[in-house]
Chains A and B, each alone.
Chain A
Amino acid sequence: MTEIFMPRLSDTVEEGVIAAWHKKPGDPVAAGDSLVDIETDKAVMEHEAYEEGTLAEILVPEGGTAKIGEPIAVLVATGETPPTAPTRPPAAPETPAPARAQAQAPATATAPAVAAAAQPQDGRAPTSPLARRLAKEYGLDIAAITGTGPGGRVIRADVENAANAANAGNAAKPADAAQAASTASAAGAAPAAATDDGKDSVEAPLSRLRKVAARRLVQSKQEAPHIYLRRTVDAEALREFRSVVNDGREENKVSPNDLILKACATALRRHPDLNSSWVDDRLLHHRRVHLGVAVATDDGLLVPVVRDADRLQLTELAARTRELAAGARARTLTPQELGGSTFTVSNLGMFGVDGFQAVINPPEAAILAVGAISKQPMVVGDEVVARHTLELNLSVDHRACDGATAAQFLAELVDLLEDPLRIVV
Chain B
Amino acid sequence: MSVITYRQALRDTLRAEMQRDENVFLIGEEIGHFEGSYKITEGLLKEFGPRRVRDTPIAEEGFVGAAIGAAMLGLRPVVEIMTINFSLLALDQIVNHAAKIYGMFGGQCSVPMVIRTPGGGGQQLGATHSQNIELFYSFVPGLKVLAPSTPAEAASMLRAAIRDDDPVLFLENLGLYNTKGEVPDEPDAEPEVAQIGRAAVVRPGTDITLIGYSRMAGVALQVADELAKDGVSAEVVDLRSLRPLDRTTIVESVRRTGSAVVAEDDWLTYGIGAEIAATIQEGAFDWLDAPVARVAMAEVPLPYAKSLETAALPCAESLAAAARRTLRATGRLR
**B152 touches A (CB below 8 Å):** no
User: Cα distance A86–B192 when bound, in Å?
Assistant: 70
- CB-contact partner of A156 in B289, B297, B314, B322, under 8 A: B289
Q: Which residues of B are found within 8 Å of A153, using beta-carbon distances?
A: 329
Secondary structure call for the B interface = mixed
Most chain A beta-carbon contacts within 10 A, residue among B277, B328, B329: B329
Contact in complex: A108, B330 (CB < 8 Å): no
**B72 touches A (CB below 8 Å):** no
**A149 touches B (CB below 8 Å):** yes
Contact in complex: A107, B286 (CB < 8 Å): no
Contact in complex: B289, A110 (CB < 8 Å): no
- CB-contact partner of B286 in A132, A150, A157, under 8 A: A132
User: Cα distance A129–B330 when bound, in Å?
Assistant: 12
Most chain B beta-carbon contacts within 10 A, residue among A103, A115, A128, A153: A128
Q: Nearest residue in B to A112 (C-beta to C-beta)?
A: B268
Contact in complex: B289, A131 (CB < 8 Å): yes
Q: Which residues of A are found within 8 Å of B291, using beta-carbon distances?
A: 111, 115-116
Q: Which residues of B are found within 8 Å of A148, using beta-carbon distances?
A: 331
Contact in complex: A149, B331 (CB < 8 Å): yes
Q: A149-B329, A155-B330 are in contact. Are A108 and B289 (CB under 8 A)?
A: no
Contact in complex: B331, A108 (CB < 8 Å): no
Q: Nearest residue in A to B318 (C-beta to C-beta)?
A: A108
- Report the minimal beta-carbon distance from A128 to chain B, rounded to whole angstroms: 5
Q: A148-B331, A155-B331, A156-B330 are in contact. Are A129 and B318 (CB under 8 A)?
A: no
Q: Which residues of A are found within 8 Å of B7, using beta-carbon distances?
A: none
Report, as a range, how many residues of chain B touch the other chain.
20 to 34
Most chain B beta-carbon contacts within 10 A, residue among A111, A155, A157: A111
Q: Which residues of A are found within 8 Å of B300, using beta-carbon distances?
A: 107
Contact in complex: A109, B268 (CB < 8 Å): yes
Contact in complex: A109, B298 (CB < 8 Å): yes
Contact in complex: A111, B294 (CB < 8 Å): yes
User: Cα distance A26–B293 when bound, in Å?
Assistant: 50
B301-334 contacts to A, CB under 8 A, are 308, 311-315, 317-318, 321-322, 328-331
**B47 touches A (CB below 8 Å):** no
A161-217 contacts to B, CB under 8 A, are none
| Residue count of chain A within 8 Å CB distance of chain B | 23
**A120 touches B (CB below 8 Å):** no
Q: A110-B322, A156-B330, A157-B331 are in contact. Are A149 and B290 (CB under 8 A)?
A: yes
Q: Which residues of A are found within 8 Å of B267, using beta-carbon distances?
A: 109
User: Cα distance A116–B291 when bound, in Å?
Assistant: 8
Contact in complex: B296, A108 (CB < 8 Å): yes
- Report the minimal beta-carbon distance from A238 to chain B, rounded to whole angstroms: 50
**B174 touches A (CB below 8 Å):** no
Q: Which residues of B are found within 8 Å of A108, using beta-carbon distances?
A: 295-298, 311-315, 318
Q: Nearest residue in B to A153 (C-beta to C-beta)?
A: B329
- Report the minimal beta-carbon distance from A220 to chain B, rounded to whole angstroms: 23
- Report the minimal beta-carbon distance from A387 to chain B, rounded to whole angstroms: 56
Q: Which residues of A are found within 8 Å of B293, using beta-carbon distances?
A: 110-111
**B299 touches A (CB below 8 Å):** yes
- CB-contact partner of B289 in A111, A115, A155, under 8 A: A155
Q: Which residues of B are found within 8 Å of A149, using beta-carbon distances?
A: 289-290, 329-331
Q: Nearest residue in A to B312 (C-beta to C-beta)?
A: A107
Q: Nearest residue in A to B310 (C-beta to C-beta)?
A: A107
A88-110 contacts to B, CB under 8 A, are 103, 106-110
Contact in complex: A130, B295 (CB < 8 Å): no
Q: Which residues of A are found within 8 Å of B295, using beta-carbon distances?
A: 108-110
- Report the minimal beta-carbon distance from B202 to chain A, rounded to whole angstroms: 22
Q: Which residues of A are found within 8 Å of B328, using beta-carbon distances?
A: 150
- Report the minimal beta-carbon distance from A91 to chain B, rounded to whole angstroms: 16
User: Cα distance A156–B331 when bound, in Å?
Assistant: 8
- Report the minimal beta-carbon distance from B56 to chain A, rounded to whole angstroms: 36
User: Cα distance A153–B258 when bound, in Å?
Assistant: 15
Q: Which residues of A are found within 8 Å of B296, using beta-carbon distances?
A: 108-110
Contact in complex: A109, B289 (CB < 8 Å): no
Q: Which residues of B are found within 8 Å of A128, using beta-carbon distances?
A: 288-290, 330
Contact in complex: B331, A129 (CB < 8 Å): no
**B287 touches A (CB below 8 Å):** yes
Q: Which residues of A are found within 8 Å of B322, using beta-carbon distances?
A: 110
Most chain A beta-carbon contacts within 10 A, residue among B291, B293, B294, B313: B291
**A311 touches B (CB below 8 Å):** no
Q: Nearest residue in B to A148 (C-beta to C-beta)?
A: B331
Q: A111-B268, A157-B331 are in contact. Are A106 and B317 (CB under 8 A)?
A: yes
What are 21 contact pairs spanning A and B, CB under 8 A?
A103-B298, A106-B311, A106-B317, A107-B311, A108-B295, A108-B297, A108-B298, A108-B312, A110-B293, A111-B268, A111-B294, A116-B291, A128-B290, A129-B286, A133-B286, A149-B290, A149-B330, A153-B329, A155-B330, A156-B258, A157-B330
* 4 additional contacts (CB under 8 A) given A107-B311, A129-B288, A133-B287: A107-B298, A109-B267, A130-B288, A148-B331
Nearest 7 Cβ contacts at the A-B interface: A157-B331, A109-B268, A130-B289, A107-B298, A133-B286, A107-B311, A108-B318
